[in-house]
Amino acid sequence: MTVVNRFLNYVSFDTQSSETVDTTPSTAKQMLLAQALKAECEAMGLIEISLDEHAYLMATLPPSPCTVHPVPTIGFIAHLDTSPDMSGKNVKPRIVENYDGKDIVLNEKENIVLSPKMFPELLQHTGEDLIVTDGTTLLGADDKAGIAEIMTAIQYLIDHPEIKHGKIRIAFNPDEEIGMGASKFDVALFGCEWAYTMDGGEIGELEYENFNAASAKVIVKGLNVHPGYAKNKMRNAGLIAMQFAGMLPATERPEHTEGYEGFFHLTGMTGTVEEATLSYIVRDHDRNKFEQRLKQLQEVTDYLNNIYNEVVKLEIKQQYRNMREIVEPQKHIIELAKNAMTAVGVTPIIRPIRGGTDGAQLSFKGLPCPNIFAGGLNFHGRYEFVSIQSMEKAVEVIVNIAKFVPLQA
């Protein structure tokens, strides 16, 4: 089965995760894909297959009898879920062959067009075969492209016993999109010296730096009285919440930042006179700057509480840290991936992730875990697409990593 066949099969599973529940997996439908992958692993002849009640699937490709010295056990990881931001139900993928660099009409009836005017990165894939949506759902390349690439690479190694490799572990986990993908990941059971998440975007991406991340919830308690008699009595929670938002620097929002620049991102707001809430995510690559951002939120809270007599409550939840401090001291992991890319004609693009990855949390749990491209772009929305040629290159990179580990050992 080709990587394309696998991918088209996997995106037929609706695995959208949910931010509104505390169970793992957050949606039962993620388990359906996990079960299908378990059956596929069994049919391939993999061993040490385990699927727990939380939808964490692991399996092993045994080592080939290749060396007289120990070879490190390595792993490849991808996530089952798709983003809560847009539906992943009834995905209708379509292959655009030999893309000509022009607009792609995703949905003529609804006038939904994937255009290089809005997404100039399309032009980097002129002449390639692209898989797109019909404009009514996301595609699910994040991260079913990664799953398809791992499974295809493992099958390739099985079919080519002349390729010598060590023990290889694979894992597919739920709930990455809601920041909980590594929460119940059993690193000891996985048993690898290091691993790679196949969860990046553009071909060549190789990432071992990510944001330090936290979420923040601001809860404002107001006092509602009849507006005709409100003087010196009413405290309008909605207006106080707006004041809070206005006290954060306007230039430090996602729409104004890039590269290593951090931000405060207002992700949701509700409000009445009686009560209002603001939901933020806070991000920065630099740990000191990140801590300063959290301090800034507290300072705004304290200032408003001093004015309005303790009406604002701030709740901060730490999410993940920058994995650079764990991975960088083991640069051979990065060099291995770079060599695997260049060997198949892919130029490594090393840059920080302006987001998160399961690899960040896994790195701090004792499993150094950089992130490698899976080939998809425009994640989390109707304009998502993936290049077939990029997926095929990702398969080759996985195979080369497996091949090069015994040589490095």
Active-site residues, by number, are: 81, 176
* Helix intervals (H) in 96-197: 141-159, 187-190
**Full DSSP string of 344-373:** TTPPPEE---SS--HHHHHHHTT----EEE
Burial (0-12, 13-18, 19+ Cβ within 10 Å), 387: buried
Identify the CA nearest to 119 among candidates 391, 378, 387, 368: 378
- Coil, strand or helix: which one is 140? coil
Bridge partners of residue 59, in order along the sequence: 170
- SS3 of 7-64: the string is HHHHCCCCCECCCCCCCCCCCCHHHHHHHHHHHHHHHHCCEEEEECCCCCEEEEECCC
State the Cα–Cα distance between residues 126 and 189, nearest whole angstrom.
43
* Strand 130-132 to 205-207 pairing: unpaired
How many other C-beta atoms are found inside a 10 Å radius of the C-beta of residue 167? 20
Report the C-alpha dihedral over residues 177, 178, 183, 184, rounded to 10 degrees.
Answer: -70
Bridge partners of residue 308, in order along the sequence: none
Q: Which amino acid is residue 13, in one-letter code? A: F
State the Cα–Cα distance between residues 93 and 91, nearest whole angstrom.
6
Q: CB under 8 Å to 359, separation ≥6 — which residues?
A: 77, 195, 196, 197, 199, 210, 323, 369, 370, 371
State the Cα–Cα distance between residues 45 and 25, nearest whole angstrom.
26
Burial (0-12, 13-18, 19+ Cβ within 10 Å), 100: exposed
What number of H helices and E strands is found in the chain?
A: 10, 18
State the Cα–Cα distance between residues 257 and 263, nearest whole angstrom.
7
DSSP state of 73: -
